[in-house]
Chain A
Amino acid sequence: MGGQQQKKYERGSATNYITRNKARKKLSLSLADFRRLCILKGIYPHEPKHKKKVNKGSTAPRTFYLLKDIRFLLHEPIVGKFREYKIFVRKLRKAYGKGEWAGVQRLRENKPSYKLDHVVKERYPTFIDAIRDMDDALSMCFLFSTFARTGKCHVQTIQLCRRLCVEWMNYVIASRSLRKVFLSIKGIYYQADVLGQLVTWLVPYQFAHNHPTDVDYRVMATFTEFYTTLLGFINFRLYHSINLAYPPKCVVSPHFYSQKLSALSATLSRVISAPEDEDAELDHFPAEGEDAEALQVREKQQKGLDAQKRLFEGLKFFLSREVPREPLAFVIRCFGGQVSWDQSLCMGSTYNATDETITHQVVDRPNVDKKYINRYYVQPQWVFDCVNGKMLLPVEDYFPGVTLPPHLSPFMEEKDGDYVPPEKLKLMALQRGEKPGEIKFEEEEEGDEANADEDYDDDEEEMDNKEVRDEKSLKMIEKQRSQERAVSVMVTPGKVKAENKMRLEYEEKAEEKHLAIMMMKKKEKYLYDKIMFGKRRTVREANKLAAKRKAHDETLKANKKKKGKKD
């Protein structure tokens, strides 16, 4: 009879996971070291599918790591370095205590250190993987590069971050890969297209940081440690991919780190002087299963992209002193514009305000004392809106002192049914090459549509707006019919009712659907309800936004009228 009794939790998912404490014990590391290791090696906890099984029947909240991950950590040379470091700290403390300064010196010289090259290679076996995961690295490095020497992290880290950021920005300029910029209240978002991957990063505005006390800077520093290594290697490879010498000459001297801006103004030295006509026409081959139309669309996109890359070419910008120089200079250079600023402000200026060939002067104050007649004075938002609109927008809306049009997020891609702000519609019309007059008309139309939308009751349980409407009218009709029957006792000559065939058909279909929904299985019904709930919510939100906008516009109009009357 029967063999050995099967013990519980000795096979299956319970053996694939390990709790954090057990993992720590297995690696014989302190919690802090374990965390550092996890950060560096990119090991993260997993949520098991059957938590209770993995937790051996208990429902206590625990974090689980994959056992394989932890086994993988066992062979990590960094673990050994951690132990060495622990010993080093102990020795150093002892030497300090005894006042053996020579010993302290000697120990310090032999401080154990580790490299993260192999970790980078391990985590990102291919270059594309690394680029895909760059967002956080860039954001972190840009944040650290804005830190002052406050003792929150090592000065060398800050300097390294600055260097890497400058290198990265230089690459983006050189490769013209910036796509989108967004001025948010948190900072400036940039999006670049690097080797087909979209890389987004956030740069805080240039202010001194008010360092919070409830943030563990050690964790951030550990992340930065890895990120700087990663960024260094990525930069190296990227520079070489476009034939640039790495490290770039302008960045080498440490003096430049602090002045990101000046570093941006220098052109990079090329390893091999590349032939100028880089943009030789590439032949397009249709991908498999792609018809001619799709090919055309793709070609059109490519053309648009090329045009965007040369957006500011031939334009000469001058930045006033109150304008944030670094982002503007970066953006303008990314699209081929020339940029300069007052010499007294910062190094790297190439021409003066008096230069007659300047086409645009970026100004962020209500009025300018001395104006040159042959240049436009625009607010900084113009530059960013141009980049996002992929075209040079009319400057009239952006003159100094003028109320600016809203700055829209370029990252929002509205699907149908979503709310689209009228400014976006305007922009889209401009992009299509329509005249502003036509746009106005369209805008009104849009407004009407919005009106109609508002009329629907949001709380209706039906899924689509149209359906809601139809359903409602149906109900009305039925009600009327029943009432007629209830009331009419006397016989009246009947009227021929013109039956709307379309309507009837529609009713029939709606009813069919309704009945079919009744027959859904419980699980599917739940899912369906959920989806429909989400859809309805988005519709509701869009309606709300539209209503708000309408109210706003109306108050504006009323104010204008009042003013007109007063005048």
Chain B
Amino acid sequence: MHAVSKSSEPRKTAKMSKSREKNTKRRVVEDDEDQLDLFKENKDEAPQKQVEKDGPSDGEDSDDSDSEESVFSGLEDSGSDSEDSEEDEEDFEEEASSGDENQGEGSSGLKTKQELSFTKKTQGKPQREKLLVKEKTTAGKTVVLKGVAKDNGTVQGEKKSKGQAIPPPQVDEYEHDTSDEEDIRNTVGNVPMEWYQDYPHIGYDLEGKKIFKPIRNKDELDEFLDKMENPDYWRTVHDKMTSTDIRLTDEQISLVHRLQSGQFGDVNFNEYEPYIDFFSGETMIHPVTNRPQDKRSFIPSLIEKEKVSKMVHAIKMGWIKPRKPKESDLQFYDLWAKEDPNAILGRHKMHVPAPKMKLPGHEESYNPPPEYLLTEEERLAWEQQDPEDRKLSFLPQKFSCLRSVPAYSRFIHERFERCLDLYLCPRQRKMRVNVDPEDLIPKLPKPRDLQPFPTIQSLIYRGHSSLVRCISLSPSGQWLASGSDDCTVRLWEVSTGRCMKTVEVGGAVRSIVWNPNPAICLVAVCFNETVVLLNPYLADKLVYNATDQLIASYVEPEEERPQPVQWQVPEIEDSDKGFRLIITHPKSVKQVTWHSKGDYLASVLSDNSNMQVLIHQVSKRRSQNPFRKNKGLVQCVSFHPIRPYFFVASQRCVRVYNLIKQELMKKLMANCKWISSMAIHPGGDNVICGSYDSRLSWFDLDLSTKPYKVLRHHKKALRGVAFHKNYPLFASGSDDGSVIVCHGMVYNDLLQNPLIVPVKVLKGHTLTHNLGVLDVAFHPTQPWVFSSGADATIRLFT
């Protein structure tokens, strides 16, 4: 009975699972059959239960719950747990019959006990089944056919498997639970025997006295001797609890043999008993149980009534509304049946529609023309590019036939990107520039209509050995003077290109200017710190003699005034060269320029003090510094051709001074970085400035101090600019080796702005040391332009 009480717990869980299983099964039945059938089943079940209850009560007095359980187990299927319940019932009988056996086993086999319990169960089962069959036949009806069918199948199998496959939880249970085979000779209980290793005793007997170990333990030798001598050695087993040797009986040995060979422990057990089918296919006349139906099974439920009445009330009150009919959401109709022009709101006009996807080109074809396929290098370049930078988002490929075309791996990506573009990309309406480039070109008067202007190069003046920095034309236009870095001044005849004279000077000539007065034949040459007035003897004899006389007629003033420069009359050898006056400056001189009357001369010193500009009067040999303050590095200066104005170009602006009033009149902002050269229109109202940042600014003094026009015709720094005296022409020479001649018409009408049209690009000079044209000058009467270059030549364009 101990075993039963102990094993009750796992059984319970098993029962629960069972009942759940039953529930599910019943549900299945419900689904299949009608409500009526369910009632039937219930009805059937009830009497069955009753009978069941009565049945076992004949033999023994087991309680209600037990019997019910047996019913379930019997009805559903013979699970392993049902056996336990059987066990209780049959225990009494078995105890009596196999009592002696149990006694023997108690000490010996651990497993045998188990096996025995199984045999008992299997023996018990047929009995009970018989009983049920009896009842069933009286009931006369098959209940839960499914369960029966399952039974038929499983019972046989189970019988077979019971011997070998013992469910693991039971094994565990018996291992730890030693209470039913308790050895009364040693009362230590369930304690590992190793704990007694160091003690002389091994446990306690029933009276509480120590059980001592045998005095002498068997050693190997004893063991061996025993093995050799004792004929029963093979059937002796050592009992650790009492540390005695036990000789197994014949029955026990046969039991062990049987178990080893996989047979049942009990000799008398017949595995192959004939099977009695409990749930037969026959229809029984009588119910399984005799129990009358419950009253509740035919009386309407009060609880349900209450619930229904609540619902009815709620419906009456309008709390519960009928479910809305599910409208199928796909109802298409003619949405644009009435196209209302008023529906087009301002919104729609403001709407910026998303640009359509780009249509594919030939390169996207599965079989493109061969030229659209990428070469190896192009492919590599494509792969190395960032995906955003690629011109094509895919690699063009060629397939020989349509069936070999694979799926495009980025298809979903591209569609997704399009989606993102549609709803995330900011849109802006942009006016597409669809301009014909020809329309952008300004309509200018044709150069042919603006003739005359120099068109081709007609003469080259060779002779200088280094770059020609400056040139100047005689007022008559017959002679040309040029100064070069080879420390010479050459005088040329314009029409033939013949070098008339070469004058050696003491340094690289920075500037050379012919006196504009036709009655005077003088050339101002500046090199190093000196400005020399040179008489070239290239004019009418009367004229140059008159010039010499004019210079010689100078009378020293009575009172010597302090002068910033030194006026000298050259010595004989110099005067043979033609030098007439030498003005020695404290610093090196950059530029000289004549006043149009030919008496005054201005020179620019490369100095960063207030003495940068000096004005000399030749007739009186007097010099003066007109400026008290330094206002930036002076680049060049110029006299106004008519009025007493003086132009001083510093790095970024041009200042116009009135020499009589001695005041600043205007400050022209040139909008450039560094002015290189300047020229005044013969009318005197317009100024052009060339700058090293390759711009030419045209100022209209009547208009504003800002340039009227900035021309960026040259590609490199401008070195020289010039106006023609009679023709409306101006020219600019630049480091890129070209001279650009422009038509610059100034109208007398003040309302009309000057017309500026480039008419010719003249090229001829070769670049040397990155320098091209250094100076340009116009012929005083003809539309010819001269240019001097870094290639040591002077060219005439006519």
Contact = CB atoms under 8 A, between A and B. Distances in A.
Given A45-B427, A187-B408, A235 B332 contact: yes
Nearest to A408: B362
B426 interface: yes
A119 to B, nearest CB: 11
Interface in A437-491: 463, 478, 482, 485-486
Interface string A89-119: 0000000000000000000010001010100
Interface string A222-261: 0100000000110111001000001100000000000000
Given A220-B415, A364-B402, A404-B400, A246 B362 contact: no
Among B332, B347, B422, B712, find the residue whose CB has the most chain A CB atoms closer than 10 A.
Answer: B332
Interface residues of A, number: 114
A215 interface: yes
Contact of A520 (B340, B372, B435, B441): B441
A84 interface: no
Given A223-B422, A235-B332, A379-B402, A409 B757 contact: no
A225 B352 CA distance: 22
Nearest to A140: B415
A516 B450 CA distance: 14
Interface stretch (A265-273, A281-289, A305-313, A545-553): A545-553
A390 interface: no
A411 B361 contact: yes
Contacts of A139: 357, 415, 418
B415 A143 contact: yes
A205 interface: yes
Interface in A472-524: 478, 482, 485-486, 508, 511-522, 524
A512 B400 CA distance: 54
B457 A406 contact: no
B148 interface: no
Interface stretch (B284-292, B363-371, B616-624, B780-788): B363-371
A64 B408 contact: no
Contacts of A552: 370-371
B28 interface: no
A233 B369 contact: no
A233 B334 CA distance: 7
B432 interface: no
Contacts of B397: 185
Contacts, number: 273
Given A186-B408, A478-B763, A404 B401 contact: yes
B407 interface: yes
Contacts of A49: 428
Contacts of A219: 416, 419-420, 423
A407 interface: yes
Contacts of A409: 359-362, 364-365
B424 A45 contact: yes
B340 A125 contact: yes
Given A120-B335, A211-B412, A184 B365 contact: yes
B425 interface: yes
A482 B763 CA distance: 10
Contacts of B442: 516, 519-521, 524
Contacts of A532: 437
B65 interface: no
A183 interface: yes
Interface string A49-71: 10000000000000110101100
Contacts of A380: 402
Among B334, B353, B437, B757, find the residue whose CB has the most chain A CB atoms closer than 10 A.
Answer: B437
Interface residues of B, number: 89
A72 B419 CA distance: 22
A393 interface: no
A302 to B, nearest CB: 24
A421 interface: yes
Given A130-B336, A135-B357, A528-B437, A212 B412 contact: yes
Contacts of B419: 39, 140, 219-220, 223
B389 to A, nearest CB: 16
B407 A207 contact: yes
A5 interface: no
B707 interface: no
A44 to B, nearest CB: 6
A247 B361 CA distance: 36
B440 interface: yes
Nearest to A523: B440
Among B352, B408, B446, find the residue whose CB has the most chain A CB atoms closer than 10 A.
Answer: B408
Interface string B754-798: 001111110110000000000000000000000000000000000
Nearest to A508: B448
A136 B336 contact: no
A548 B370 contact: yes
B370 A406 contact: yes
A38 B354 CA distance: 14
B409 interface: yes
A344 interface: no
A182 B448 CA distance: 56
Interface in B375-432: 375, 394, 396-397, 399-403, 405-409, 411-416, 418-420, 422-428
Contact of B426 (A63, A403, A524, A528): A63
B713 A518 contact: yes
A531 B400 contact: no
Nearest to A541: B391
Contacts of B347: 68-69, 72
Contacts of B234: none
Given A125-B339, A421-B362, A45 B426 contact: yes
Nearest to B418: A136
A424 to B, nearest CB: 8
Interface in B269-311: none
Given A189-B360, A406-B369, A126 B759 contact: no
Contacts of A205: 405-408
A45 B423 CA distance: 8
Counting from the closest, the 10 A-B pairs by CB-CB distance are A207-B407, A411-B359, A47-B428, A125-B343, A549-B371, A47-B426, A548-B371, A45-B426, A406-B369, A184-B364
26 contacts: A44-B425, A63-B424, A63-B426, A72-B347, A132-B353, A133-B353, A135-B357, A139-B418, A185-B365, A186-B360, A205-B408, A210-B407, A219-B416, A219-B423, A220-B415, A365-B403, A404-B400, A408-B365, A409-B364, A421-B362, A423-B369, A485-B457, A515-B444, A519-B757, A520-B440, A531-B435
Interface of B: 323, 329-330, 332-336, 339-340, 343-345, 347-348, 350, 352-354, 356-357, 359-362, 364-372, 375, 394, 396-397, 399-403, 405-409, 411-416, 418-420, 422-428, 433, 435, 437, 440-444, 446-448, 457, 460, 711-713, 740, 756-761, 763-764
